[in-house]
Chain A
Amino acid sequence: MSLHDITAPPLRAPGFARLPVLAAAAFCLACLAAAVAAPVLAPHDPADLVALPWQPPGDGFLLGTDQLGRDMLSRIIWGARVSIGLSAAITALAFAFGVPAGLAAAVLGGWADQAMSRTVDLFMALPPLILALLALSVTGTSLVTLTLVAAFLAALRVFRLSRALGVDLATRDFVDIARLRGEGTLRIAACEILPNAAGPLIAEAGLRFVFAFLFVASLSFLGLGVQPPMADWGGMVRENAGALNYGGIAPLVPAAAIALLAISVNLLGDRAAGGRTGR
């Protein structure tokens, strides 16, 4: 119950808050377009040395050059492909496994739920970065293992959320009705529960996407992330960090790209979750 004085000015028209959301959507779309159409959009081959290292922006290189003299803009565009693709893959995998498992645990209940939930508890009881460090040390770092490990960690959280949503929804009367029709667990989970859990799950997907993004960047820092010469934004920050000590701006470009995308996805996720203030 949110109350206000009868004299208090009415809340701002909702249209006003739309600008940042529109900007966020535009940026996300731009990144997506960059990722999809990288070969068309990038002015140079991201691996080609086209000028001296760490040239300032301008002179045909809109965002300057990187530590090897490659075109920063082209690398950012191609990097979008790697970064976004990777995060999207991680998020998608996490949901592909986390949601069915979580909903199944919720609907099945009993020992199946116990077994799954306690296993997840165990893995969630361990710090994610440590888990990733150990897991990647065991499996070796490659794009595939990186994706799988990060997806596994994200799936734990997705499982918990899906299970919580599922448990809540499973007690709804319409689920009872479906059970009274004699419908099976799978059908109930898919037709009755999933559509109603979609809202929070979509918001969570945005969040997971951002976390995957930053997580991969952190792993890149520890030398376990995306490996050069592939251009991912986190790795580009890392590669170009040396310019900071010269007052160069090279690392700021990918860092800003990361921050902007994270913020944009966040904003959109919030909006998807409903309510401009509900964060």
Chain B
Amino acid sequence: MTDQKRPAAVPARPRAISRRGLLQSAAAFGLASGAGGLLLPGVARAQEVPQSGGTLRAGILGASSNTNDPALRQDEFGVMAAYTTFNHLVEIAPDKTLAPELAESWEAAPGAKEWVFNLRKGVEFHDGRTMTADDVIYSINRHRGEASQSGAKALMAAIEEVEKLGSHQIRIRLASGNADLPWNFSGDHMAIVPDGFDNWMKPVGTGGYVQTSFEPGVRATWERNPNYWKEGRAHVGEVEFLVLNDPQARIAALQSGQIDALGLVDPVAVEMLKGSGAAQVVNSAGGQFWSYAANCKLAPFDNVNVRRALKHGIDRQKILDIVLRGNGRIGNDQPVAATDPLFNTELGQTPYDPEKARYYLKEAGLDGLSLQLDTSDATYAGSANVGQLYRQAAQEAGIGIEVMRQPADGYWDQIWLNPSRQMTSGVWMGRPTVDMLMSTIFAGDAPWNEAFWSDPRFDGILVEARAELDPAKRKEMYWELQSIIHADAGHVIPVFADFIDAYSPRVRGLMPTPSWYLMGARFTERVWLAS
């Protein structure tokens, strides 16, 4: 956790939450019932009327290679900038439901293979043009096709056709049914830009702010879009992003009042920031979790009892207390966050129980167990230290863990998903839908099946649930899936880490938002500044 403090570490080192982390997370939206009971001045209170104006300054992780092109964006900067400049077809509302944004409504044909989206009329781009279906189709097609360089290419791969039905209506045909399709359009990659647009130094969108300057890796500024179509949104007069990467400098900048907003706050700083009165800290419990994946194709981890021993040999509370300083929840070896409506509330929590672990080892016919655990800062900073905690706890259960610290460079390419490794660590930001989450990590043919686990029954239920439009049935199926993972899969999921943000005292309208840092990356249009 040492390095929790450096959510982004320094530029030379791959970001703490890189690749699997930050990059996906933008598209990540766990539905959650946010952390309640905040008594901060900035947290929205009904009686307060938002004020307009002022300059909102945020410290953002970034690099000189940043671009405004949402298809190629990297880092926190790209995500935050995307939601400041652009709108999307749908948005995750602060009340955690899927809300219309540039699409006013949508409808799926039975089987969820065909979708029709009705677009909002009278929305103007920053350059004065009015948004039509052509713009939306262009914006979607940018991510498809052979030549696409987009990060959302895989996400859009299931789309077979995008059709214009009218000036403000489109139809999307999928290869197979997907009840959750609209969620895919809330991700930052999927920003809506004018038809044919490609001048990314001067981005044009329909968002609440118009970019006025952009120095990659240094700063960017916006001013309020005077023609913004949304009511009661985008309150501040100007927005400024300062690229701040050094963990110490980020906190210091907030403490000394040079910035108003900071995401990816190190849990270690939380208490101090709260105590100092110099900042408001907002925790958003969401879908971010750490994982240890035991290789189920490799003996002895192909024996479910060994996997159960591993699950009982970890002291989740200690990791939560020490590494996260309580800023999170303990995990239960399944990926759905407790804040998700589809969370299986009836699943029993696996405790830290060395005796039980020993018992399971014996069941597996083993007296003891020793294994190598690969960790790397490529996952989250300080993962090696968390590994040490696991080692300490597992020792009691007769499980010897050798914590390997792998170089960040090449960890994802060479160590992770390498069928010869015994146990690897990973980090997941959650996914907008439980289906996405499970199909990317747990399905037998999942691209990132880090535990090499497969269960035909699980796979069958998963496909069935995907096309199911009935909420009650969905819930039943997803509960079942969670329980299968919990009991059988190769994953040890010790904790869910909160998204922790900090704001200067003058920021108002704050609200825990489960989907990502800084109010699901939409803070610029949701907060306002007290004078």
A residues with CB within 8 A of B = 47-49, 53, 66-69, 133, 137, 140-142, 221-224, 227-230, 239-242, 244-246
Partner of A67, one of B2, B9, B10, B384: B2
A-B CB contacts (within 8 Å), total count: 79
Report, as a range, how many residues of chain B touch the other chain.
Answer: 20 to 34
Q: Are A68 and B322 in contact (CB under 8 A)?
A: yes
Shortest CB distance A9–B (Å): 51
Digitize B287-324: 1 where CB-to-A-CB distance is under 8 Å, 0 elsewhere: 00000000000000000000000000000001000110
* A215 CA to B255 CA, complexed, in Å: 30
Q: Are A223 and B12 in contact (CB under 8 A)?
A: yes
* A222 CA to B14 CA, complexed, in Å: 11
- CB-CB nearest in chain A for B389: A49
* A222 CA to B12 CA, complexed, in Å: 6
Q: CB within 8 Å of A: which of B253-296? A: 255, 266, 268-269, 272
Query: Which of B83-91, B213-221, B354-362, B404-412 lies at the interface with chain A?
Result: B404-412
Partner of B1, one of A67, A142, A221, A245: A67
* Chain B contact surface mostly: helix
* A11 CA to B87 CA, complexed, in Å: 80
Q: Provided the pairs A142-B407, A223-B10, A227-B405 are in contact, do residues A242 and B388 lie with their beta carbons within 8 angstroms? A: no
Q: Are A242 and B9 in contact (CB under 8 A)?
A: no
* A47 CA to B403 CA, complexed, in Å: 11
Q: Provided the pairs A141-B407, A223-B13 are in contact, do residues A245 and B5 lie with their beta carbons within 8 angstroms? A: no
Q: Are A69 and B322 in contact (CB under 8 A)?
A: yes
Q: Provided the pairs A48-B392, A68-B2, A229-B384 are in contact, do residues A242 and B268 lie with their beta carbons within 8 angstroms? A: yes
User: Is B454 an interface residue, CB under 8 A from the partner?
Assistant: no
Partner of B2, one of A141, A142, A222, A239: A239
Q: Are B251 and A49 in contact (CB under 8 A)?
A: no
User: Is B370 an interface residue, CB under 8 A from the partner?
Assistant: no
Known: A239-B2, A239-B5, A245-B272. 4 other contacts (CB 8 A): A68-B323, A68-B385, A228-B3, A245-B269
Partner of A245, one of B2, B12, B251: B251
* A140 CA to B10 CA, complexed, in Å: 16
Q: Are A53 and B388 in contact (CB under 8 A)?
A: no
User: Is B247 an interface residue, CB under 8 A from the partner?
Assistant: yes
What residues on A are CB-neighbors of B12 within 8 Å? 133, 137, 222-224
What residues on A are CB-neighbors of B9 within 8 Å? 223
User: Is B347 an interface residue, CB under 8 A from the partner?
Assistant: no
Q: Are A246 and B322 in contact (CB under 8 A)?
A: no
What residues on B are CB-neighbors of A140 within 8 Å? 407, 409-410
Q: Provided the pairs A48-B392, A49-B322, A245-B255 are in contact, do residues A222 and B405 lie with their beta carbons within 8 angstroms? A: no
Q: Which of A47, A137, A221 has the most CB of B within 10 A?
A: A47
What residues on A are CB-neighbors of B408 within 8 Å? 223
Partner of A228, one of B2, B247, B248, B255: B2
